[in-house]
Amino acid sequence: MAIRDILVYPDKRLRQQAKPVTEFNEELTTLVADMAETMYAAPGIGLAAVQVDVPLRVVVMDLSDERDSLRVFINPEIEPLEGTQEYDEGCLSVPGVFATVERVERVRIRYRDVEGNAYEEEADGLLSVCIQHEVDHLDGKVFVDYLSRMKQDRVRRKLLKELKQAQAA
C-alpha cells in the first residue's frame, strides 16, 4: 500500500471525467487499498479516485467515529429520491475550506464492490451527502462549484497563494 498525492483545487486534473471500472483485478484492489490509506492518513471521510489523479469511478469512505468501517463504492450511481438537506462540506482537495451546500436528502445508491458484486441501498444524512459529493468528483465537479462566483474566486486565490508559499518554503 502507498499514500498517493491528493490533487488540490483549482488543479485542472480535478475536472477529469472518470470512466467506469470494467476489470475487477489486482490493479483495482491496489488502487482501493492506496486510496483508503491516503484517506485515513489525510485524515478524511471520503476520497474519489479522480482526487489521486486516477480517472476511474472508484470511491472510498469511512463515516465511523472509530475509523474502522471502510466503505468502497465502484461505479456508484445515484438516484435522487426525496427532500433536500444542507451540510457544511469540506474536501481533501480544498484544504481548510468549508461551505454549506444543498443536496438531495434521500438517495438510492447502486454500486459494485472490488470483486464486481452489485449492491443497492438507500441513504440519507451524512452517507447521502458524502456519496453525492464523491460522485461529483467522478464527474469532474468540486463542491466549490456550488458557491457564488465571488466565493469561488476567494477560495481559488487562497489556495493558489498557499501553494506558492509551500513551493517557496
The catalytic residues are 134
Burial (CB count <10 Å: 0-12, 13-18, 19+), residue 2:
exposed
Q: Which stretch binds Ni ion (CB under 5 A): 4-12, 64-72, 86-94, 150-158?
A: 86-94
Amino acid at 33: A
If the CB atoms of residues 55 and 116 are measured against Ni ion, the closer one turns out to be: 55
Minimum CB–partner distance for residue 137 and Ni ion (Å): 6
Segment (H or E) for 120: strand 118-123
Q: CB 109: neighbour CB atoms within 10 A? A: 19
Minimum CB–partner distance for residue 130 and Ni ion (Å): 9
Minimum CB–partner distance for residue 14 and Ni ion (Å): 9
Of 51, 73, 69, nearest in space to 60 by CA: 73
If the CB atoms of residues 74 and 91 are measured against Ni ion, the closer one turns out to be: 91
- 91 contributes a contact to Ni ion by CB under 5 A: yes
The DSSP 8-state label assigned to residue 76 in this structure reads E
Burial (CB count <10 Å: 0-12, 13-18, 19+), residue 19:
exposed
Minimum CB–partner distance for residue 51 and Ni ion (Å): 6
Q: Which stretch binds Ni ion (CB under 5 A): 5-13, 22-30, 83-91, 119-127?
A: 83-91
Place of cell 444543498: 102
Whether residue 35 contacts residue 60, with contact meaning beta carbons closer than 8 Å, is answered with yes
Residue nearest to Ni ion (CB): 91
Q: Which stretch binds Ni ion (CB under 5 A): 28-36, 73-81, 87-95, 158-166?
A: 87-95
Binding site for Ni ion (CB under 5 A): 91
